[in-house]
Structure formats: structure tokens, C-alpha cells
Amino acid sequence: MDFAPPYARRGLEHDPQWYRRAVFYEVMVRSFADTNSDGIGDIPGLISKLDYLEWLGVDALWLPPFYSSPLLDGGYDVANFMTVLPEFGTIDDFQELVSQAHARNMRIVMDLPLNHTSDQHHWFQESRTNPSGPYGDYYVWSDTDEIRQHIRIIFSDTEDSNWAFDSERRQFYFHRFFSHQPDLNYHNPAVHSEMHDIARFWLGMGVDGFRLDAIPYLYESDEGTGESEPETHEFLRTFRSFLDTEFPGRVLIAEANQWPSETAEYLGTEETPECHMAFDFPIMPRIFYALRSQQAEPLQMVLAETVDIPPGTAWGVFLRNHDELTLEMVSEEERQALYGWYAYDPRMRVNVGIRRRLAPLLDNSRQELQLAHALLLSLPGSPFLYYGDEIGMGDNIWLEDRDSSRTPMQWSPDRNAGFSDADPGKLYLPVVQSLAFHYSSSNVETQLAQGTSLLHWVRNLIHLRKEHPVFGVGPLTVVSSDNPSVVAFVRDMPIEECKPGESPETLLCVYSFAHQPLSVTLSLPESFRANRVTEITGGGRFPSPNEQGQLVLTLPPQSFYWLSLAGIKASVA
Ligand code: GLC
Ligand code: CA
């Protein structure tokens, strides 16, 4: 079949900035659905579930690596960038996925781990056996492991050095992650052209963009920290201009677990752009902090510190993903509190984080799950959901490392939760059978049959968000409140962002983290003193702010309101 770009892209609505309004869904091919009964999810399985994802309201999929790999790091240890892991399917299957997704106006973003490869990659095998050959300089080799000792170790639970000795080449190689993942040498231009070729290969099949894995670590130097070094940004600017020239409209998403101002640098500037999106790491742990402390301040502070980002760029917000809930971006005090609340069993921890899923973290509390999702869907940027969280799936902390939250998707109460027909012992990981989250009750089919399920609730909220594009593109203004358990902000749609047929809109979002009912007085800035306040899920009329802009509200425990503010001009006049 001819999958040249025009065909593969058929079905997609034209919107060069689609990613600013999109709802993303992260799904690992391995974990979603198995069609050939080998116990491993595959691309045809994912294709068979596109209707479900479309129903849920998903606009774009983020697929973690599905390249050939020994799978010692969930596929982030790539052995060949131009092939699909045979257990997952073929290149033809992948092209079919792209075209089936596009036919539903759904985009596909795939992971591109640029920083390192598996030690099984033929580049590395040749580099270690033939130092003067064409691949000799593809990795970071050194005669001594005494240099760059100050560069921090990321996988602190498994690694005690960023160097490993290769007995064949009799030199040390640098690795920022597992020792079976040697870092590529970005000082070698040949590595750049390899990466451009790999990107071209997938973009040619119609892929809509890449999540750039572990992007801060591309370059390291003897003096620097090995994070966000200037050449890394230079590489990104070049990569972006290659993309804009050869594949306009495709996007780059930065995975940079850094403070907001440093992360924002990965978006570049208007004149010298880098990525279109970057994940917002600091906001996420503060949501979890607020839920237990009932204190809104840390979240409010991080929101108020909004870093200006270039026009046309966006944050990616998330509650959970395939990694641990990282606690690198909080203070030591907050970290200890978060460990105490959410990782009271040492098995729940890994590296600097917590290896649990959303629903178990929140003790399966429906209120907390709703509050967390409401925040996710209303914070500035585009939300990234993690597969299974829409049904409140559980985890399995008895599995190793981050596999605890990468277990098979639970589709039905049938054998293997409907994920696979294989002998249960053959599954790549067992399905969750814990008391509170057993797949016999926690699954898509059961929740579809129940109108009040979390799945229906999440779906409704996603669809509601999509009716209000201000959530995607409107700037945020924090609104001050007199209650320490409340966070409130306004999202306001500038007229320039409106597409034909859309009109500007102003929404007031109010969240109570208190475990009891409360009342709060909000002080609305002059420009938001509406004379008509309406709740957007049911259209109910709320009190309007007084002349001074004070708005008094009462909220049930752990709840939220999304209120539309109208008639603003009249009240100011
Ligand atoms: C990224 C991935 C993580 C992986 C690491 C090393 O942080 O999200 O899963 O282990 O890179 O490849
Ligand atoms: Ca399979």
C-alpha cells in the first residue's frame, strides 16, 4: 500500500497549532491489547482500540518506544531505530496505525530517545570492537572514570557511577541512565545526521511529532553539569529548523525534568524556536501535595510564577506517566511529606520518586480523582492522560522498578482482563488482582455499563474541556482567595486565538483541597468583574461579584467549580 505522506495524513483537520488544544493519551503498545495471543500487546491491538480512544475524546497518542530493543528499560534502550520490535508488529502495522488514527483526526506522537542507545545497538557493538572504525566515535569514551564525577546520577537506585568499563575496548563509556544504555557522543556530527535520518524515516510515514526523551542530557562537558548545556540547545534549534523545512506542522515535545524557567528554554524563542511543547514537571507534585496538606499555596505559587513562553508553544501537563512520580522538583521538606503520604511502604519508592498509579495514590477516592482530573484538564497547556487512569486502574508494587504501573490494560472481567487470550502465565506482566483494584471490577466494560463510573465522568469532562478551547489557549491569571485551601484562577480567551465561529470566553476555575466544606471570598481583578456567573456543566446561575469584585462561594470537600464569567465589559463601564 502506498503510505506516502499525503495518503497517511488524509483525514486530519488542518490546524498547524493542533497540539495547543489537544488532549493527549500516553499508551504503551506492549500494555494495551494483544491480538496474537503471545501475551504481549501489539500494534494491531492498539488499532483495534482506536474507536475506544476516539470515544473517550483523545486527540493524540503518545507512544513510548516500540523500536527493536532488549526491553531492559521499557524500550528506551533502543537496539535499532528503523525497525519495530517484532513482538509489537511490523512497519506495515505501524503505517496502518497512522492512517487509521488520522482517519479519526487523531495524531500520533512517538518517543525519540536521542541521548543513548542500548548496548545491543550495532553502533555500540562496532564502537567497542573497532575504535578506529566508522562508529568508533559514536559514544563517549574515556581512559579514566575520574572525570565528570560531579554529574549527578539519575538512576540512583541501580547505578553508582555514570561511567562503565568496557572489557573489549578497555575504556570507560559514559551513561546517564542504566549502564546498558551508553550515551551517544553529540560532539560527533555523524550522530546528528543519523538522528536526522531516523526522524525523516518516521516523519515520512506520517508521524505527527516526537517526544524528545531525556533531552537535557545530550551534551556533557568536563566543567558542566551535563544538563542543558549550550550545545544541546544549539542541536535542538537545528533539529527544529530541519523539521520546519522538511515536515512543517509536526511537533517536538521536550521531556526536561527541570525548573520552569530552565524547561521553558527548551521552547526557544520566537526567532530561534526549539520545541513546540515541554512537559511541566514542577506543577504535578504540587497537586499531590495540595490534596493531602489541604494547603493551596505551593500550587498557587507555581501557577503565579508563570514563565512567559513564546507564542505558539504550550506546556504538557500530566498527573502520572510510565515513569515514577518524580519528586526532583520539590523542596526536601515537601519531598519528605509526599513520601510520608504516598509512599509509606519503601517498596513504593524508586530513585527520587514514587512508582504508583494515580488511583492507588489517591486511595481510590472518587472526590480526589475528580479534583485531580479537573485540574489536569484546566491548567495551562495540554493534558496528557496515562492509559488506564481513566478507569482508576491499580498498580502492583511487587513488580520491579517502574513495571509496577505498566501492567496490562483492563478491558473486561474476562480472562487476563480482556487484554489477551494467552495463558495467564505468559503475559508480559500479570494483570492487577489486588483487593481494591481487581480487574474483575476495575475494567472498561464494567465501567461502560455504569453511567456514574469514573470512566464516564472523565470522558464527560474531556468533552466539556474540548467545548471550551480557552482551556487550551487562554492565558491564566491567579485570583486571590481568603481561604488557604483554595486555588482559583481565570482562563481568558484572547480574540486573536479564536478560530472562525468561536467567540472569546472567560472562565473562573475554583478548587477546594479542604477535607471539609468551606466558604471562600475571591477577589476578582477589575477586568474580570462579571455581572453574570454561570456554572458550565449545568448552566446554573451563581451569585455575581460585588462592586469591589468580591465573590463569595461555598464548596463541598475536595471539589471544584468551572464558572463562566459574562457581561464583564458592562460591569467595568
Ligand atoms: C526517560 C524515560 C524513562 C527512561 C529514561 C532513560 O526519562 O521516560 O522511562 O527510563 O528516559 O531512557
Ligand atoms: Ca501480541
* Catalytic residue flag (residue 160): no
Q: Which residue has the cell 506520517?
A: 206
The total of other beta-carbon atoms located within 10 Å of residue 519's CB is 12
d(CA 418, CA 441): 12
Give the pairing of strands 209-213 and 107-113: parallel
pLDDT of residue 3 exceeding 60: no
**Residue range 371-395: mean pLDDT, rounded:** 98
CA of 567 to the centre of ligand 1 (A): 48
What letter does residue 389 receive in the DSSP assignment?
G
d(CA 43, CA 37): 13
Structural contact between residues 303 and 346, judged by C-beta atoms closer than 8 angstroms = no
Name which residue leads in pLDDT, 571 or 99: 99
**Residue range 188-212: mean pLDDT, rounded:** 98
On average, the pLDDT of the chain sits at 95
Strand partners, 212: 112, 254
- Supply 241's cell numbers: 529548523
Write b or e for each residue in 59-85: b if 16 or more Cβ atoms lie within 10 A of its Cβ, otherwise e: bbbbbbbbbbbebebbbbbbbbbeebb
CA of 31 to the centre of ligand 2 (A): 10
pLDDT of residue 10: 64
In ligand 1, the atom with minimum distance to the C-alpha of 74 is: 9
Residue list, ligand 1 pocket, CB within 6 Å: 73-74, 76, 113, 177, 213-214, 322-323
Name the catalytic one among 34, 59, 87, 255: 255
**Residue range 489-508: mean pLDDT, rounded:** 95
**Tens digits of residue pLDDT in 271-289:** 999 999 999 999 999 999 9
CA of 429 to the centre of ligand 2 (A): 13
In ligand 1, the atom with minimum distance to the C-alpha of 116 is: 12
pLDDT of residue 191: 98
**Tens digits of residue pLDDT in 108-147:** 999 999 999 999 999 999 999 999 999 999 999 999 999 9
Mutate which of 31, 69, 73, 174 for ligand 1 pocket (most atoms within 8 A of beta carbon): 73
- Confirm whether pTM is higher than 0.75: yes
**Tens digits of residue pLDDT in 211-242:** 999 999 999 999 999 999 999 999 999 999 99
Residue nearest to atom 4 of ligand 1 (CA): 76
d(CA 495, CA 170): 63
In ligand 1, the atom with minimum distance to the C-alpha of 322 is: 9
3-state secondary structure of 90: coil
**Tens digits of residue pLDDT in 33-47:** 999 999 999 999 999
* Catalytic residue flag (residue 213): yes
Mutate which of 67, 176, 323, 402 for ligand 1 pocket (most atoms within 8 A of beta carbon): 323
